[in-house]
Structure 1
Amino acid sequence: MKTIFALTDFSDNSVNAANAAVLLAGKIHANVLLYHNYETMAVASTFSGGPYVNEEFFLTTTETKKNLDHQLKGLQYIVDSIDKNDRQPTLKALSGDGNLEDNLKQAIDENQIEFIIMGTPSGTAIDHLFFGSETNTILQHAHKPVLIIPANKTLGDIKNVVFATTFDEPDIQALHYLINLGKTFHFNIEVVHVNQPVKDKAQQIEKEAAFQKHIARFGYDKISFKDIGGHDVADRLHLYCAEEKPDILAVVHHQHSFLRRIFEHSTTKDALTDLKLPLFIFPTVL
């Protein structure tokens, strides 16, 4: 059974993201796996002539189980309130001690993970993408889409999704995935291309036409394409998001360096912080 993987550190923001995971799971007929990763060091030493294991290890694992059980109870209330037309997801909790990269790979290998959802410890999803070590570990090793919910943002009905594209092959895979979700949620997808200077304009036009033709084969009528022009790409992108107010901004991870140049622009970063956009980040290979 496909499963949404909800990462938690028991903060209000991760609880908020897990709540969103349950509601999304009800729509796509998936279950929810609540996961917490921690690191302890069980140290064997000698005391009164005999070995003992560091008490911190037991305290941490006991506290983790207690917190997971508590959060599961809260999520179960949401499950019970889900509309009868949707499927009530099954909830499961799991924790891992040690390296996040290794534990994440094992959890994904052993479960049919659809995508990962997480809240930001602080700031915005954009801050978390560029400066959060945990997020970068997940993006580099999970090979699953990651939905990042910014602090104090409630993910309600998803009506409009903006997808930033460079017309490359991984973008087609990501759009195919988004379209399949769109057929369930009935949201609009606006595929936005940020114009940058290119040596061969004709080749760029041909690439865009081939891209659109490929996407048309997916048979989704709630998708449109838009080129964003302007002297300052960062400001133009911000203006577009501010005007259109999408519910989610979707990108492919190979665009990371490109997006970083855009979002590190001080004016744009401040403005997008105010927008509190959730980010749906896709790996280059799905």
Structure 2
Amino acid sequence: MKKILFPTDFSEVANNAFIHALEFAKIVKGELVLLHTFELPVVENAFTPDNYYTLFDSLQLAQYDMFKSQIPKLRELAQKQHLENIQLNHKIMEGDLIYSIKKAIKEEKIDFVVMGTAGATGWEAFFIGSNTGSVVTAVDVPVLSIPVEAQYTKIKTIGFTTRFREKDKKPLRQVIKIAKKSNAIVKCLYVKTSKSDVTDEIINQWKNEFEKESVEFLITNSDLVKETILDFISHKNIDMLAMITHKRNFFSELFQPSLTQKFSNISTVPILAMHEE
């Protein structure tokens, strides 16, 4: 059974992403590990007030109480989605978010991370690194990020961007497995720029290798890579976009408001960030 880490701060963004996490767990036949992290105030020893440790304990206890009070609300959300059978485990950790996520991935042997972002401007913040951002490049498992505007709909079409490199085949096969479990098709996009060194022979070899799969290969000639990808999402009815994390700054540029404002539905598309090996 796959294990999916779901970091949450119990906000609207996180609760919306929780529904996607439940549905994703259903697709991959997985269980969710709910992770809540918190940081306690740091006080230098020389200036530690007499009541600091009492305050420390009370703040820690308050976090645990808050966590416990939110769990029934999440279970209620699961029941409304008729997904109360998805196994939920709980983990609360004190410390930095990224450190805690990396530690939880190792301790729990996590296969995927699912987490929420805050929409069009949130995409930029996410991939640049503020708040939840650095998770994408800090961990070595796929990260499915969900914008708050993304109301869950059944995944029928998964987009996958490639450069037809040999190392792209493993992530594509992983996406195909996910697509099969949800009866979805995969549309594989290659943006062929004027500097492209990919030959027709390589493209045909890929088509032959994956001919028995529900994969459609789309080759677009353009030097405007980011704009072409956004156009692909918008006009090919992509329900989830899978991308390999070549460079983090590529993601931040891709989702800058100056680009996303041209495509009103871009902020409603979940993105599965996968890692090259």
TM normalised by structure 2 equals 0.85
Alignment of 1:1-286 (within 5 A): 1-41=1-41, 43=43, 45=48, 47=50, 52-53=52-53, 55=55, 57-80=56-79, 88-121=85-118, 123=120, 126-198=123-195, 200=197, 203-216=198-211, 219-220=212-213, 222-230=214-222, 232-264=224-256, 266=258, 268-272=259-263, 274-276=265-267, 277-285=269-277
Unaligned runs of 5+ in 1: none
Coordinate RMSD, CA, aligned: 2.8
CA spacing shift, 1:145–1:2, aligned 2, 3 Å:
same
The SS at the match of 1:212 is helix
Per-residue Cα deviation, 1:189-237 (whole angstroms, up to 9, x for no partner): 100011111264xx53333333334444xx42x2110012246444433
The structure-2 alpha-carbon separation of the partners of 1:135 and 1:71, relative to structure 1 and needing over 3 Å to count, comes to same
Amino acid at match of 2:115: M
Tell me the matched-pair count.
Answer: 273
Distance in 2 (alpha carbons) for counterparts of 1:153 and 1:199 = 34
> Do the aligned partners of 1:22 and 1:78 also contact (CA within 8 Å) in 2?
no
In structure 2, distance between residues paired with 1:52 and 1:208: 64
CA drift at 1:261: 4.8
Does the 8 Å CA contact 1:29/1:87 hold for their aligned counterparts?
A: no
1:31-61: CA deviation from partner (whole Å, max 9, x where unpaired): 11111222214656353xxx75161x33443
Q: Which runs of 5+ in 2 are unaligned?
A: none
Cα distance in 2 for partners of 1:214, 1:67 equals 52
Q: Is the 8 A contact 2:246 2:276 kept in 1?
A: yes
Q: What TM-score, normalized to structure 1?
A: 0.82
What fraction of aligned residue pairs are identical, expressed as a percent?
Answer: 23
Contact 1:247 1:278 in 2 (8 A): yes
Going from structure 1 to structure 2, the CA distance change for 1:87 and 1:167 (only over 3 Å counts) comes to farther
